Amino acid sequence: MNINWGVMIPILAKAIGETFQMIGIALVFTIVFGLLVGVLLVSTDEGGVYEAPFGSRRLGAIIHAVLGFIVNIGRSLPFIILMVVLIPFTRLIIGTFIGPTAAAVPLTIAAIPFFARLVEIALREVDTGLVEAARSMGATRGTIIWKVLLAEARPSIVLALSTSVISLLNYSAIAGTIGAGGIGDIAIRYGYQRYDNSYLFTTIIILIVIVQMVQLVASAVARRLSHR
Amino acid sequence: MITITDLHKSYSPRNARGTTVEALKGIDLTVADGEIFGVVGQSGAGKSTLLRCVNLLERPTSGSITVAGQDLTTLGEADLRVARHGIGMVFQHFNLLSSRTVAENVEFGLEITGVDRAARRARSAEVLDLVGLGDRASAYPSQLSGGQKQRVGIARALAGNPKVLLSDEATSSLDPETTDSILQLLKELNRTLGVTIMLITHEMEVVKRICTSAALIEGGRIVESGNVIDLLNTPKSKIAHALFPLGESRGEPGNTVIEIMYAGHLADEPIVGRMSREFGIDVNILGAAVEVVSDHRVGRMRLELPGSVESNAVPIARLKDSGLYVEVLEGAL
């Protein structure tokens, strides 16, 4: 195989930059809203600290059910369809649906429910005895969420985050097909449409390396945080 | 220190077909200042619900709970949180935060009450010394043994200088030796700090070792309660019998079987020998136990005397006169 590195490297460098850009933006919003939704899902459930917001169990149950429903909708749409459906919304807030910044919008919308469910699982793994101990010490709900639930679930949340990043990488390749740019876009345009296997294989290697690194770092951080 | 009045707790059914479960059916209980009060009962008797009602982790269906002069059932959420700062609690499974070091766990309650960092540090070092773990402050709970974890749990509960310590089966997941050392620690803390302890347990050994008072809970009701030594002298007391199991040996039909209980200096006297010498009867010992209960040496003995109760009236009266508690088990009717 005769590879012209001088041509390929700038193209790939730009693509990697675009991929990191869309994933980076999406990740920030995913962390913030995913944590929020995950915490709400757990705390408004029966036995959660907000099972009865404003003294109403009914309100808690309604919030829980509505939130769960929305999250499930988000998770039931295949990313490519979600992306198309969200085009008007993306245009509204970014002004265009082309480019990595615009692609961050559907990526975020897709990743929030995914990450939120993983956060929910992580929080449910925290021993209820710890919540009880905190309550017996007179802890407020906020303290219980911050210093017990989220603090204890940190290792699992870091692993959930790495899973979400890898999903985002996956979605970003699909976003590439409708003009987002990025590594996936190169693989499709150069590798698939131009039959240039050197691009195809190089992008595959890059993707593998990125995923391995994400997982490696996340596992190391999780191990560091875990004292179980 | 703790007064529980007509406490009811029932759990409403989860669905239409379920039935309401009545866990507590009218509990009245008083725990005096500085006592170690043990609530014993089998699992499912309601003791855990009862303890969790004391700091309102479970809200009672009706009745009142007064701790240190404050009726907790009337308090709003914010006031209740403040009241809980004065009530420490230790748990069977320790419930330590795995993400925090020993010192940080002990400081948790102080963080909640808004104590500043330096004062928290100082206080956690102080209480960790008190429970004998001064050198493990920077370890994580997973690096500790069960007994050490419970010591951390106790230190955490005591950090805020509570007047009351609630213990939810604190020694039930520990081996016998560790149980001993934890009970010893609780007793010592009760003596030196004056903290009132209310504990629940299914182990009679715990009552025997450290409790000054005890209550027996069965089916959501208190069936017996009082000072342990008084209970030992109460006819037919279930707690007394459970503290002193004498076996099943019942003697020959037609003979008289009595149980005698003795405490203090009487424990050193040759009761049986003197009785057979004085009255010329062959006393048969069916069972006997001598134990130390709340720091008192007490003994219980089941004796078989030949002949009917009437024919043994004089020796029994003589035993009673010498200050022994005597219970006639057979031949009385």
Which pLDDT belongs to residue B254?
81
Q: How far is CA B220 from CA B14, B39, B223, in A?
A: 20, 12, 9
Is residue B304 within 8 Å of B284, Cβ to Cβ? yes
Q: Collect all residues with Cβ–Cβ distance below 8 Å to A109 and sequence separation of at least 6.
A: A74, A82, A86
Among the partner residues B57, B108, B160, nearest to A132 by beta-carbon distance: B57
Q: How far is CA B78 from CA A96, A140, B57, B72, B182, in A?
A: 50, 9, 14, 11, 33
| Chain A residues in contact with B84 (beta carbon < 8 A) | 135-138
Pairing mode of beta strands B284-293, B221-227:
unpaired
Which pLDDT belongs to residue B270?
78
Q: Is residue A177 part of a domain?
A: yes
* Fold topology of B2-232: Rossmann fold (3.40.50)
What's the half-sphere exposure (Cβ side, CA atoms, 13 Å) at A10? 3
- Pairs of CB atoms within 8 A across A/B: 68
Residue B157's Cβ-count burial label (10 Å; 0-12, 13-18, 19+) is buried
User: Is A41 in a helix, a strand, or coil?
Assistant: helix
| Chain A residues in contact with B99 (beta carbon < 8 A) | 151-152, 154, 225, 227
| Chain A residues in contact with B57 (beta carbon < 8 A) | 132, 135-136
Give 10-residue mean pLDDT values along chain A (228 residues): 83 94 96 97 92 89 96 92 93 92 95 97 96 96 96 96 95 89 91 89 94 96 92
| Chain B residues in contact with A226 (beta carbon < 8 A) | 98
Please choose, from the candidates B267, B261, B227, B257, the residue with its C-alpha nearest in 3D space to the C-alpha of residue B244. Answer: B261
Q: Collect all residues with Cβ–Cβ distance below 8 Å to B22 and sequence separation of at least 6.
A: B8, B9, B10, B220
CA distance A145 to chain B (A): 13
Which pLDDT belongs to residue B132?
94
Structure tokens at B103: 């010192």
CA distance B154 to chain A (A): 12
- Which of B95, B113, B136, B169 is the best mutation test for A, with the most CBs of A within 10 A? B95
Which pLDDT belongs to residue B268?
66
Q: Is residue A227 part of a domain?
A: no
Residue B219's Cβ-count burial label (10 Å; 0-12, 13-18, 19+) is middle
Q: Is residue A152 part of a domain?
A: yes
Could B112 and A152 be called an inter-chain contact, meaning their C-beta atoms sit closer than 8 Å? no
Q: Is residue A214 part of a domain?
A: no
Please choose, from the candidates A3, A12, A35, A1, the residue with its C-alpha nearest in 3D space to the C-alpha of residue A207. Answer: A12
Count of domains forming chain A? 1
| Chain A residues in contact with B160 (beta carbon < 8 A) | 137
Q: Is residue A96 part of a domain?
A: yes
Q: Is residue A39 part of a domain?
A: yes
CA–CA separation, B92 vs B27, rounded Å?
Answer: 23
Q: CA of B79: which chain A residue's CA is closest?
A: A138
ipTM above 0.90, yes or no: no
- Which of A137, A152, A227 is the best mutation test for B, with the most CBs of B within 10 A? A137
Could A137 and B109 be called an inter-chain contact, meaning their C-beta atoms sit closer than 8 Å? yes
Which pLDDT belongs to residue B324?
80
How is chain B split into domains, by residue range? 2-232, 244-330
Could B109 and A143 be called an inter-chain contact, meaning their C-beta atoms sit closer than 8 Å? no
Q: Collect all residues with Cβ–Cβ distance below 8 Å to A16 and sequence separation of at least 6.
A: A182, A183, A206
Pairing mode of beta strands B256-263, B325-330:
antiparallel
Which pLDDT belongs to residue B331?
54
Residue A94: CATH number of its domain: 1.10.3720.10
Q: CA of B158: which chain A residue's CA is closest?
A: A137
Structure tokens at B128: 């960790």
Is residue A35 within 8 Å of A29, Cβ to Cβ? no
CA distance A42 to chain B (A): 19
Could B112 and A138 be called an inter-chain contact, meaning their C-beta atoms sit closer than 8 Å? yes
**Backbone angles phi and psi of B94, in degrees to 5:** 65, -45
The count of other CB atoms within 10 Å of the CB of residue A65 is: 12
**Does this chain's domain B2-232 share its CATH topology with B244-330?**
no
Residue A72's Cβ-count burial label (10 Å; 0-12, 13-18, 19+) is exposed
Could B112 and A228 be called an inter-chain contact, meaning their C-beta atoms sit closer than 8 Å? no
CA–CA separation, B120 vs B178, rounded Å?
Answer: 28
Neighbouring-strand partners of residue B165: B88, B197
Domain limits for position A76: 20-183
Could A154 and B85 be called an inter-chain contact, meaning their C-beta atoms sit closer than 8 Å? no
CATH number at B244-330:
3.30.70.260
Greatest Cα pair distance, chain B, in angstroms, is 76
**Contacts by A212-217, CB closer than 8 A, 24 or more apart:** A214/A162, A214/A165, A214/A166, A214/A169, A215/A162, A215/A166, A217/A162
CA–CA separation, B148 vs B154, rounded Å?
Answer: 10
Q: CA of A134: which chain B residue's CA is closest?
A: B109
| Chain A residues in contact with B95 (beta carbon < 8 A) | 127, 129-130, 132-133
Which pLDDT belongs to residue B330?
66
CA–CA separation, B67 vs B59, rounded Å?
Answer: 15
Q: Which pLDDT tens digits describe chain B residue by residue (333 residues)?
A: 999 999 999 988 776 777 888 899 999 999 999 999 999 998 888 999 999 999 999 999 999 999 999 999 999 999 999 999 999 999 999 999 999 999 999 999 999 999 999 999 999 999 999 999 999 999 999 999 999 999 999 999 999 999 999 999 999 999 999 999 999 999 999 999 999 999 999 998 899 889 999 999 999 999 999 998 888 777 678 888 888 777 766 777 888 888 888 776 666 677 788 888 888 888 888 888 887 777 777 888 888 888 888 888 888 888 888 778 888 876 543
Q: Is residue A110 part of a domain?
A: yes
Straight-line distance from the first to the last Cα atom of chain A, in angstroms, rounded to the nearest whole number: 51
Q: CA of A155: which chain B residue's CA is closest?
A: B99
Which pLDDT belongs to residue B246?
74
Q: Which residues of A touch chain B, with CB atoms under 8 Å apart?
A: 127, 129-130, 132-140, 143, 147-148, 151-152, 154, 225-228
| Chain A residues in contact with B55 (beta carbon < 8 A) | 136
Q: How far is CA B95 from CA A123, A155, A186, in A?
A: 16, 18, 52
- The DSSP symbol for B306 reads S
Could B91 and A132 be called an inter-chain contact, meaning their C-beta atoms sit closer than 8 Å? yes
CA distance A223 to chain B (A): 12
Q: Which residues of B touch chain A, with CB atoms under 8 Å apart?
A: 55, 57, 80-85, 87, 89, 91, 93, 95-100, 108-109, 111-113, 140-142, 156, 160, 166
CA distance B16 to chain A (A): 17
CA distance B260 to chain A (A): 44
Is residue B17 within 8 Å of B177, Cβ to Cβ? no
